[in-house]
Amino acid sequence: MKKTTTLNGESAPPAGPRTLERSPKVRRKSLPPTDSAHRGGRNGNPKASPSRGRATGAELALLPAQLLECEWSHCHPERLADEAFQALKQSIAKSQRNRVPILVRPTGDTVTVSNRVVAQYQIVYGRRRALACSQLGKPVYALVREMDDHSAAAYLHAENSFREGLSAFERGNLYDSLISDDDHRHSPAQHLFRTQLELATALNVDAGDVSRCRFLARLPAEILAIVESPRDLAVHDADALRVALKSHPAEVLRRAAAIAEADGKLKARTAVKRLTDFRAHAPKHSALERRLEVDAVDYGRLRISASRLLSIEFSQPLTEAQLKRVESALQKALRVPRR
């Protein structure tokens, strides 16, 4: 495997698929504009002008207003404000640019920036780097490649697999936006794959993990509300939660409501255990005691302990005939066949 390097806290982009075609026009929300007059060139010259054309295969300095977010947005809001994001901003501020370029594709549209008509691009991957540059008032360095939706999805997934820290919950949201099988939570125009198996084959991922990640992304709101961060949910948590919700749906949601009222939010591991560990919370059986009577004769006490053990305490010694009568009565009551 080819070794990768890290430059100033930024992960180098992975190699992506080679099938490149012209992309359809996309109309998506652009990154927040900045008031800065920075213009970026290939060598980081602040006086350079933004890209006007649709050059592909080259690294260009683009302004935030030229960039549109990808429709398969899957990045959890926490990722755009956590410590790792702040460290990324510091790295870019120190270097005066994002040394690892993002990947974009032409949209075929233009936008006017400072009375100049410039080309517009859609982010394939690198949203966090682009946002960091936007907040710093710096141009965004990007590789421009023409590609269709399937190639863009493959590039996006490859980059996410390469970068450490992408959670199962976020992957589930990404997979959901690409699949058009049953419960449509996204616009049908965004769906690229008809089934989970089709997606797993195309992206070279385990179909079972696709199912687990999607399950986590679709957890009831009552469960997500008690987890400090859904990004902390592990792939294997889906198995335990799936079984619990299938066998005891009402009890799981009741426990979630009780946790929300008593504790608020819990670590993901603790929340999953409390929602799915039914043995630890099984009701204890109290001991039962009954008089042992056979043919209106009191022979003693019959007791069933909390651990469900049966014991008999005779009030007096029994004759052989009396013992046989008690044995016969117990066999009949317990439905034990006589030998």
User: Percent of the chain scored above 90 by pLDDT?
Assistant: 35
CA distance 128 to 100: 12
CA pair distance 218, 200, nearest whole angstrom: 18
Residue 17 has pLDDT above 60, yes or no: no
Bigger pLDDT: 34 or 259? 259
In sequence order, which residues have a C-beta less than 8 Å from that of residue 83 and are 6 or more positions away?
Answer: none
Q: What is the pLDDT of residue 18?
A: 37
Instruction: Determine how many CB atoms are found less than 10 A away from the CB of residue 104.
Output: 28
How would DSSP label each residue in 136-152? Answer: HT--EEEEE----HHHH
| Domain architecture of the chain: domains with CATH | 6-162 (3.90.1530.10), 220-283 (no CATH), 288-334 (no CATH)
pLDDT band per the 50, 70, 90 thresholds, residue 85: confident
What one-character-per-residue DSSP string does 13-61 give? Answer: PPP------PPPP---PBPPP-S---B--TT--TBSPPP-S---SSEEE
Per-residue pLDDT reduced to its tens digit, 172-190: 988 988 887 655 554 444 5
Structure tokens at 172: 């589930």
Angle between helices 207-217 and 168-178 (to 10 degrees): 100
Q: What is the C-alpha separation between 68 and 137, in angstroms, rounded?
A: 17
**Does 34 have pLDDT greater than 90?**
no
Taking the alpha carbons at both ends of the chain, their separation in whole angstroms is: 72
Q: What local confidence, expressed as pLDDT, does residue 48 receive?
A: 38
Which of 5-9, 55-59, 145-149 is predicted with the least confidence, judged by mean pLDDT?
A: 5-9
| Residue 35's pLDDT band (cuts 50, 70, 90) | very low
183: which DSSP letter?
S
Q: 110-139: per-residue pLDDT in tens?
A: 888 888 898 999 999 998 899 999 999 999
Does the structure show a pLDDT above 50 at 212?
A: yes
Residue 158 confidence class, pLDDT cut points 50, 70, 90: confident
Task: Quick: pLDDT tens for 90-100.
Answer: 999 999 999 89
Beta-sheet strands, E only, within the chain: 6-7, 10-11, 59-62, 67-68, 102-113, 116-125, 140-144, 288-294, 297-304, 310-314
